[in-house]
Amino acid sequence: MRRRLVIIAHRGASAVAPEGTRAAIREAVLAGSDMIELDVQMTLDGRLVVFHDDRLERTTDGRGRLKDARYAEIARLDAGSWFHPRFSGERILLLSQAIRSIPQRMGINLELKRTPKRLALLDRVHARGRAEALLRRDHADVGAPFLEGEIDRVQMR
């Protein structure tokens, strides 16, 4: 039996658009990727956002740790200009916004970043749209520094 190669767009099409943004997701879809990998973190006020780094400086015009900022502050940041001026105005996405922009045919791999509130983060991810698709191992993966039992606990609810 021959296996089919699965093309996963890491942080969206991060080679041609700023990572984790609507533009990167759009480009991954246009390129025909099978799956999109995105990093998820929780803001100070408990909102789930797509963002890789602990700190805001590398990929936005913000400063400080993402976990110490409220979503209203993060939503105003420019997450595209660092990559190229034509992406000026790209924003950090809420997880719900990212999920809605990914076609149903595509898999989603969420990397849940380290957080002291990891069960709360898992619960919030599970409560979002396409929860079964996100958590079913045959369609997409939820990974990161979480114990397997914690993921199973969320799946069983």
Structural domain includes residue 124? yes
CA-closest candidate to residue 154, choices 132, 131, 122, 129: 122
- Residue 145 has what pLDDT? 43
CB neighbour list of residue 4: distance below 8 Å, 6 or more residues apart: none
Structural domain includes residue 1? no
Structural domain includes residue 83? yes
Structural domain includes residue 2? no
Q: Which domain holds residue 56?
A: 8-156
CA-closest candidate to residue 38, choices 145, 150, 142, 149: 142
Residue whose pair of structure tokens reads 């969420």 in the numeric block: 110
Structural domain includes residue 3? no
How does pLDDT run along the chain (157 residues), one tens digit per residue?
A: 788 888 999 999 999 999 999 999 999 999 999 999 999 888 999 888 999 999 999 999 999 999 999 999 999 999 999 999 999 999 999 988 998 899 988 988 888 876 666 676 677 666 655 544 444 333 344 444 444 444 444 433 3
Q: 3-state class of 86 per DSSP?
A: helix
- Residue 107 has what pLDDT? 87
Active site residues: 10, 52
Q: 3-state class of 55 per DSSP?
A: strand
The secondary structure of 97-116 as a DSSP string is: HHHHTS-TTSEEEEEE---T
The count of structural domains within the chain is: 1
Structural domain includes residue 104? yes
Question: For residue 45, what is the domain's CATH number?
Answer: 3.20.20.190
Q: 3-state class of 123 per DSSP?
A: helix
